[in-house]
């Protein structure tokens, strides 16, 4: 079993203005005064907030995570954002294949592989998201689906810096969290996959996401191979994000 430093990553999705984001960081900074934080914190604000929040985040040791990127380097791709652009404003991590990107924006396994490779090739760390739908879980296919997503998404992955987020789709934004046992068994499964696939597979943090909140953070974080949390709704409130960070 790997003992990796835990990571708490907040995903703001399409929420927060720059003014609200700055207020959040100020509140979080005050809340962190005098606290010993054993975990690494990351925040994923919208693109328009990244350069405005980079300094405030750096001042309190929070890493900046982008919610998405293009795989192309540059060119005529209206509305897209390259890895180099993200790196230039101080982003260190990029979410790849969040289920909302897969489901609402039709991002395919093939596209996500290219994005993961572009992020890694550009010197940033992808947080590659996987997870089954409710139908797939009820049909007994959860492990198979997650394996398929990992296999196709990480085929030919060029780097050694990688984070995985296991987010069962049925638990995202629904208030319905996976049980600690569901999370544990899938994380152990993912760890085995990574160890077979990569010589450095034991070093990859595996985060759980899906209605993570202060009430369930301690139990989830105590599970073997749960190396942190990817938090959506509960990351919009600095108090609850802080409670999770300190759980
Ligand atoms: P949630 O979102 O915590 O609101 O369920 C998690 C995510 O989508 O990353």
- The full set of domain ranges for the chain reads 66-210
| Residue bearing the CA closest to ligand 1, atom 1 | 232
Selected from 3.20.20.70, 3.30.559.30, 3.30.870.10, 3.75.10.10, the CATH number assigned to the domain covering 66-210 reads 3.20.20.70
pLDDT the model gives residue 172: 87
Strand bridging mode 7-11 / 63-66: unpaired
Contact 87, 58 (CB under 8 A): no
In short, whether 49's Cβ falls inside 6 Å of ligand 1 is no
| Residue bearing the CA closest to ligand 1, atom 2 | 232
pLDDT tens track for 148-192 = 999 999 999 999 999 999 999 999 888 888 899 999 999 999 999
- Ligand 1 atom at minimal distance to the Cα of residue 213: 3
In short, whether 107's Cβ falls inside 6 Å of ligand 1 is no
Percentage, residues of the chain above pLDDT 70: 99
Nearest CA-CA partner of 117 in 147, 86, 72, 166: 72
In short, whether 139's Cβ falls inside 6 Å of ligand 1 is no
- Comparison of pLDDT for 30 and 173, the residue scoring more: 30
Q: How far apart are CA 180 and CA 173, in angstroms?
A: 17
In short, whether 231's Cβ falls inside 6 Å of ligand 1 is yes
pLDDT > 60? residue 1: no
Name which of 9-13, 82-86, 95-99, 174-178 the model is least confident about. Answer: 174-178
Q: How far apart are CA 160 and CA 170, in angstroms?
A: 30
pLDDT category at 217 given cuts 50, 70, 90 is very high
Q: How far is CA 155 from CA 37, 70, 89, 148, 161, in A?
A: 35, 18, 29, 11, 14
pTM: 0.96
- Ligand 1 atom at minimal distance to the Cα of residue 129: 9
Contact 42, 65 (CB under 8 A): yes
pLDDT tens track for 131-140 = 999 999 999 9
């Amino acid at each position: 079993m790997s003992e990796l430093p835990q990571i708490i990553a907040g995903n703001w999705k399409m929420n927060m203005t720059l003014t609200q984001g700055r207020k959040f960081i100020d509140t979080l900074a005050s809340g962190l005064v005098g606290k010993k934080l054993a975990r690494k914190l990351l925040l994923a604000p919208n693109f328009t907030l990244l350069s405005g929040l980079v300094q405030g985040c750096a001042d309190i040791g929070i890493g900046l995570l982008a919610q998405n990127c293009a795989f192309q380097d540059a060119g005529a791709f209206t509305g897209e954002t390259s890895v180099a652009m993200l790196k230039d404003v101080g982003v260190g991590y990029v979410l790849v294949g969040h289920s909302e990107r897969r489901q609402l924006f039709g991002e395919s396994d093939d596209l996500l592989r290219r994005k993961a490779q572009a992020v890694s090739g550009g010197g940033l760390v992808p947080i590659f998201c996987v997870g089954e739908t409710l139908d797939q879980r009820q049909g007994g296919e959860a492990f198979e689906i997650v394996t398929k997503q990992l296999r196709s998404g990480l085929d030919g992955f060029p780097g050694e810096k990688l984070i995985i987020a296991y987010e069962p789709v049925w638990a995202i934004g629904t208030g319905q969290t996976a049980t600690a046992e569901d999370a544990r068994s899938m994380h152990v499964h993912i760890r085995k996959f990574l160890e077979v696939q990569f010589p450095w597979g034991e070093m990859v943090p595996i985060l759980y996401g899906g209605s993570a909140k202060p009430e369930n953070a301690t139990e989830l974080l105590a599970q073997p191979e749960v190396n942190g949390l990817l938090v959506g709704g509960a990351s919009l409130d600095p108090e609850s994000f802080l409670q999770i960070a300190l759980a």
